[in-house]
Amino acid sequence: MGHGHHIEIKQETFVVPARAKQFSMIFMVVGLILAGIGIAKIDKSAAGHDEHAKVEAKAEGHDSHEAAKGHEEQEHTAAAAEHHTEEHANVMTEKFGPRMEYHTIDHPWQTKIWANLLVAGYFFLMISLASMFWITIQYAANAGWSAAIKRIPEAMSTFIPVGFIVLLISVFIAKNDIYHWAHYEHLGLKPGQEGYDKVLDGKSGFLNSTMFFVFPIVLVTIWMILGRRLRNLSVQEDNGTKGDITFHNKSIRTSAIFAVIFGFTISFMAWFFIMSVDAHWYSTIFGVYNFITHWVTAITIMALLVAYLKSLGYLNIVSDEHIHDLGKFMFAFTIFWAYIWLSQYLLIWYAQIPEEMYYYQIRFEQYKANFLTNLVMNFCLPFALLLMRSAKRNRYVLGIVGSIMILGHYHDVWFMVFPGVFGPGMQVGLLEIGVFMFFAGLFLIWTLTALTKRGLVPVNHPFIEESAHHDVGV
């Protein structure tokens, strides 16, 4: 039950525990070590691979100019890019309806590093954006129960620029290797020329290098400006007079603007950075699917941070009712994730349209273990473990289930990217684990540090009393 007596609402100042700092640093260091080992293994296995690509390029005469000049690095890049183009031209067969034949795609060995940074940057950027969206939804809905935990999504949202910079660096350096359309764009082929791709040419008005960088930068800048205004209004409210709702009303208006803009534009991030990895494929609900993956992850992290702060003796006005509500959100949006996942899959499976179904064909036939792991970690286990009311109120259960869900949804983003970039044969290895650990540790210490910048309790929030006495009555 919630609080049934008078509650004194007082400010709390958070200090990052030394153990939390050590844990984050150890997590990051171990992540770097594992990533380094993974990179060393890629380097060793890539030597012969690169030579094979060079020999192919020389035999076909694609790189004779660079070979004559003796520019080995340029030669390798051209060969890998040419091989990339060839391997994406999958062959249609009629063994069981319209199908595709897939082949492993050769890339410079560094591409795997940049692809992992793409996954990490995108994942933590979208979680941070979802946290900001959570704040705006609470304002727009006049929600009172969540006022007591408001500081946590505010702290999580401060990671937006870090995630976006990592994402931009990865795609800027390896754009031509990760995105087939980017390499095709530089060829400048016209109708009738060998290698001309009608689908990519038809999408070039939207899917081009200028739009690819300018549009997301403009969008994220707008979101950050509105988010910064919300934080400034929150600070002014903290420094104002209790009972003054001026800044709260301004926050509602700003939140409404943010929610509308964000709701209509967030899909562009998924289209540009994730869906365009498989540039011939498209799904009308892919943007929703991407958003819900990160939305449920953001809520999960919020729940874990609330439970952690409670275990340290902070957030005294937060009760089991708040934790229960966060657990219900985790459970509900896990079901919604499964609904969108299954809807997208079944519609494409039923229609058997070649340009749509190859996305799932390679992932189901060549990555069956990952396909099933995605479903188990992101739906089956969370659904089963959070089904009982008591589980949603138990911090230890939420900690275990939440950890599974965070790993599962990170794997979900990896699964969206790697089969499209590399074709069959890729698996989660030390590099993937190391990159995740490093950025997870960085995100944790960044968020905890952000929590120290202001008081944990928004004492002047007009709904703080309501939040402190929150009780759903069941």
Q: What is the pLDDT of residues 331-351, one digit of tens each?
A: 999 999 999 999 988 888 777
pLDDT tops 50 at residue 84: no
Q: Please state the rounded mean pLDDT for residues 303-323.
A: 94
pLDDT at position 100 is 57
pLDDT tops 50 at residue 424: yes
Give the total residue count for the chain. 474
pLDDT tops 70 at residue 74: no
pLDDT tops 60 at residue 83: no
Q: Please state the rounded mean pLDDT for residues 102-108.
A: 68
pLDDT level of residue 78 (50, 70, 90 thresholds): very low
pLDDT level of residue 220 (50, 70, 90 thresholds): very high
Are 444 and 128 spatial neighbours (Cβ–Cβ below 8 Å)? Answer: no
Q: Please report, as a single letter, which amino acid is at residue 325.
A: D
283-292: b or e for each residue (b if 16 or more CB lie within 10 Å)?
A: beebbbbbbb
pLDDT tops 50 at residue 19: yes
Q: Please report, as a single letter, which amino acid is at residue 319.
A: S
Q: Please report, as a single letter, which amino acid is at residue 377.
A: M
Q: Record the pTM.
A: 0.87
Are 403 and 355 spatial neighbours (Cβ–Cβ below 8 Å)? Answer: no
152-188: b or e for each residue (b if 16 or more CB lie within 10 Å)?
A: bbbbbbbbbebbbebbbebbeebbbbbbbbbbbbeee
pLDDT at position 136 is 96
Write the secondary structure of 260-302 as one string of H (helix), E (strand) and C (coil).
HHHHHHHHHHHHHHCHHHHCCCCCCCHHHHHHHHHHHHHHHHH
pLDDT at position 140 is 93
Residues 159, 139: Cα–Cα separation, whole Å: 21
Q: Please state the rounded mean pLDDT for residues 355-380.
A: 90
Task: Show Cβ contacts of residue 344 under 8 Å, excluding neighbours closer than 6 positions.
Answer: 283, 285, 286, 289
pLDDT level of residue 98 (50, 70, 90 thresholds): low
Where do the domains of the chain lie? 37-87, 110-468
Q: What is the pLDDT of residues 35-57, one digit of tens each?
A: 999 999 875 554 444 444 443 43
Q: What is the pLDDT of residues 242-287, one digit of tens each?
A: 888 999 999 999 999 999 999 999 999 999 999 999 988 888 899 9
pLDDT at position 96 is 44
pLDDT tops 60 at residue 392: yes
Are 296 and 335 spatial neighbours (Cβ–Cβ below 8 Å)? Answer: no
Residues 44, 57: Cα–Cα separation, whole Å: 21
pLDDT tops 60 at residue 328: yes
pLDDT at position 105 is 66
Helix (H, G, I), strand (E, B) or coil at 364: helix
Residues 256, 135: Cα–Cα separation, whole Å: 11
Supply 357's token pair.
Answer: 């179904």
Write the secondary structure of 404-473 as one string of H (helix), E (strand) and C (coil).
HHHHHHHHHHHHHHHHHHHCCCCCCCHHHHHHHHHHHHHHHHHHHHHHCCCCCCCCCCCCHHHHHCCCCC
Helix (H, G, I), strand (E, B) or coil at 128: helix
Helical packing angle, 72-88 and 180-187, nearest 10°: 110
Q: Please state the rounded mean pLDDT for residues 81-91.
A: 42
Bridge partners (DSSP) of residue 98 are none
The end-to-end CA distance of the chain, in Å, is 8
